[in-house]
Amino acid sequence: QVVGGKVKKPGKRGRKPAKIDLKAKLERSRQSARECRARKKLRYQYLEELVSSRERAICALREELEMYKQWCMAMDQGKIPSEIKALLTGEEQGKAQQNSTKLAKAGKTEANCSNP
């Protein structure tokens, strides 16, 4: 057939399928699967570390909240905790910083933390 000055051959259009080496194709598939599993493993490790760090942060915040509750209960009874006195008078600021450092260190240990 001649269409627009070009000779058109009857048959299928597009690329002819190349002879694919079956062994090479299987090896590529295996390699792709190995890489996929490795990526999945890394992703899960990252997520586990993220969850762990968030749990430690929650633990530290719970301990800090408990400390503030104790301070409030003491003030309700008419007692002013020494930490608050130090903050109000501006004295012993180093002590307040030490307490916050203790809180940070306590948050790192998960043994003190209990899940509700």
Instruction: Report the candidate in 67, 104, 106 with the shortest Cα–Cα distance to residue 83.
Output: 67
Q: Which domain holds residue 32?
A: 22-87
Q: What is the reported pLDDT for 21? A: 83
Q: Say how many domains are in the chain.
A: 1
**Is the residue at 69 inside a domain?**
yes
Q: Is residue 13 part of a domain?
A: no
In a domain, 12, yes or no: no
Q: What's the pLDDT tens digit per position in 3-59?
A: 566 666 666 666 665 666 888 889 999 999 999 999 999 999 999 999 999 999 999
pLDDT above 90 coverage of the chain, percent: 43
Residue 90: predicted pLDDT: 79
| Residue 63 within a domain | yes
- Residue 22: per-residue pLDDT: 86
Say if residue 82's pLDDT is above 60.
yes
pTM above 0.85, yes or no: no
Residue 54 belongs to a domain: yes
Q: Tell me the angle at which helices 82-89 and 93-108 cross, rounded to the nearest 10 degrees.
A: 130
d(CA 5, CA 116): 83
